[in-house]
Structure formats: structure tokens, C-alpha cells
Amino acid sequence: MQYGDVFDMKTIGISIKIGDARAATLAKELIGWLKEQQREVCVDASLRDCCSEPCIDINAMAGHVNLMLVLGGDGTLLGVSRSFIGSDVPILGVNLGRLGFLTEAPVDNMFEAVSTILDGGGSIVRHFSLAAEVWRDGIKLGGGQAINDVVLQRNRHPRMIEFEMRVSGQFVFRVRADGLVLATPAGSTAYALSAGGPIVHQELDAILVAPVCPHTLSNRPIVLPSGDKITLRLTEVPAPAALNLDGQMHLELMQGDEIRIARSGTVSLAYLPGRNYFEVLRSKLHWTGRTDDNNAC
């Protein structure tokens, strides 16, 4: 999707990895550079103490900015992105570490990358999110959203938990396992991959369900249409279990609890021109083959 003619990028929001001194320094340089170009800048709490720009709550930010810049790693980007679910504001990650799956712009290239996006270059990929709710005795206890994954897992106890899964009302299985990963395509290359799941292409409308260390060996990962409603019921939980959203938000779970997961709104991540999904995969997963490589072993 091209967005150059859609957005007039007057106001730019900036957030950084909390407590990261290098990110703060870079952010200040970026703010100066943006203001030279007559852009307005606002920041969230992560930069409150570092600069004099207006500080806006991250959850309200989407209503104030035309472009959001995030300096950090994939984790920082996930945290900011969850506040932009349902908004069309593009988010550009400037990667302070190594190549990320989601953070697109290398820091060495920060000004050029931001410039490209401000000029309407690059492209946007809409990543859908998952919404999860925890219900106990018919009462909704809490919930949240995730860009990568919703992970049910045992906690503080060495024995497996047991739970049932239903998909759009149909019983799928009762399984004993360490847990279960429900991942978006973006999340399929994160924790779900370690749990044995496949790579789900970022443009496929699908939810990946991957049991973690299932007791029954034939309980393989399942890829479902993203419109399916997934319900988990905890049938045996020797000690409190947890529901983790993007590995960042946590809900405590007890035996009998019901978890409802469904597709939720999208976030719009900005990518630079020439970005190649498969090249990122090859690099992150150390696939050795290249077209011109005669020694692919």
C-alpha cells in the first residue's frame, strides 16, 4: 500500500526504549532535525524527562500524530504498536539492535529512512492483532491485545496444565501441555517458531495455534482462518497459570477459567522501499542459500 498521498505528515510522535540513553540521545537529534523541517513533534512518557516537546499519553497518541517513530528493538515497537491498534497512523521502527522482524530502519540510516517515509516512499503492511479476554464464572476479569502472540502457559509449577480448545464453537481437543501459542503471522516468527510452528506469511489472514511441549505427540500446530473465534477452557491447572500478550502484558489464570481470543484491529507498520520479507527471514533464520552461492551446504 502506498500512503504518500493519503497522509499529510505534519505531526510526528516519538517513543523510545525506556531507560535507553543512546535512544534518548538519538531522539533528541531527531527532534531537532524534524523541527528544522517545520514538523511538530510530540513524545510519550519514555521521553518526558529528556526533552521539552509536548508529552502525550501513548494510548492517546494515535489521535494526535500523522507518523509514529519508535527507537528500540522489536519489543519496544510491539509495546507502542498495541496503543495504535485500529488506527491508520503508520509506525516506523528504528532498530537500535540488529535486524528486527518488525523494526525496519537501521539506526545508521535513521535520517534517510525517516526522510523517505515523510516523502511518502516505502510501503505499509497492516498487521492484524489478537484480542484476548479472561472469563471466570461468567464474569469478564480482564483482557488485552497482542500484535505477535497470546501465550497460555503454566507458571510456578512443574506439572503440565490441561485445557480444551474450541474453534467457533466446535470442540477441537483437550490437551496436556506446557502451554499454547496463538500467533498472528507477525508472531509466527517469534515464540511460536521455537514451539515448533511454521512460518505464516505476513499477508495471510490466519491465526497460528501451536501447543508448547504437548503430551500427545500428534498434537501438531494448526493454522486457522483469522475470522475464527478461539476459546480455551482450563480443565486442570495445579497452580496459577498465565496469559501473556506479546510477552509484555500478563493475566493470571486459574482452573476453570475461559479465555476467548479473536482477531482485532490492525496496526500499520511502515517499511522502506525494497524491503523484502523473505530476505528478512533468510537473514534471521540463517538460511544459507543465496542465488549465487555454490556451497549451500
Q: Which residues are catalytic?
A: 74
How far is Cα 106 from Cα 248, in angstroms, rounded to an integer?
Answer: 24
Maximum distance among all Cα pairs of the chain, rounded to whole angstroms: 62
CB atoms within 10 A of CB 15: 25
Residue type at 154 in one-letter notation: R
> Residue 32's Cα: distance from chain center in Å?
29
Q: Which of residues 156-175 bind a copy of itself (CB under 8 A)?
A: 156, 158-160, 162, 164, 167, 170-175
Q: How far is the CB of 39 from a copy of itself (least distance, A)?
A: 34
Among 13, 72, 122, 214, binds a copy of itself (CB under 8 A): 214
Q: Choose between 10 and 215: whose C-beta lies nearer to a copy of itself.
A: 215
Distance (Å, whole) CA 83 – CA 58 = 6
Q: How far apart are alpha carbons 218 and 228 in whole angstroms?
A: 22
The number of angstroms, rounded, from the C-alpha of 41 to the middle of its chain's C-alpha atoms is 24
**In terms of CB distance, is 1 or 52 closer to a copy of itself?**
1
**Nearer to a copy of itself by C-beta: 13 or 211?**
211
Q: Which is nearer to a copy of itself, 121 or 198 (CB)?
A: 198
- With binding defined as CB under 8 A, does residue 195 bind a copy of itself? yes
Asked if 274 touches a copy of itself (CB under 8 A), the answer is no
CB of 86 vs a copy of itself, minimal distance in Å:
23
Distance CA 238, CA 222 (A): 26
| 72 scored as a contact of a copy of itself (CB under 8 A) | no
Asked whether the beta carbons of 213 and 158 are under 8 A apart, the reply is no
Contact region with a copy of itself (CB under 8 A), list: 44-52, 82-90, 101-109, 188-196? 188-196
CB of 31 to a copy of itself, least distance (A): 28
Contact yes or no for 89/36 (Cβ under 8 A):
no
Please tell me the count of residues contacting a copy of itself according to CB under 8 A: 73
> Which candidate, 75, 83, 124, 159, places its Cα nearest to that of 273?
124
Please return the burial class of 30, using the count of CB atoms within 10 Å of its CB with bins 0-12, 13-18 and 19+: buried
Q: Residue 241, SS3?
A: strand
Is 155 a binding residue for a copy of itself by CB under 8 A? The answer is yes
Whichever of 29 and 171 has its CB closer to a copy of itself, that residue is 171
Q: Are 94 and 70 in contact (CB under 8 A)?
A: yes
- Per CB under 8 A, does 254 bind a copy of itself? no
Subset of residues 85 to 124 that bind a copy of itself, contact rule: CB under 8 A: 97-98
222 binds a copy of itself (CB under 8 A): yes
The residue from 79, 93, 122, 197 that contacts a copy of itself (CB under 8 A) is 197
- Separation between Cα atoms, residue 55 and residue 43, nearest integer Å: 5
Nearer to a copy of itself, 7 or 277 (CB): 277
259 binds a copy of itself, rule: CB under 8 A: no
Q: Is 293 in the site for a copy of itself (CB under 8 A)?
A: yes
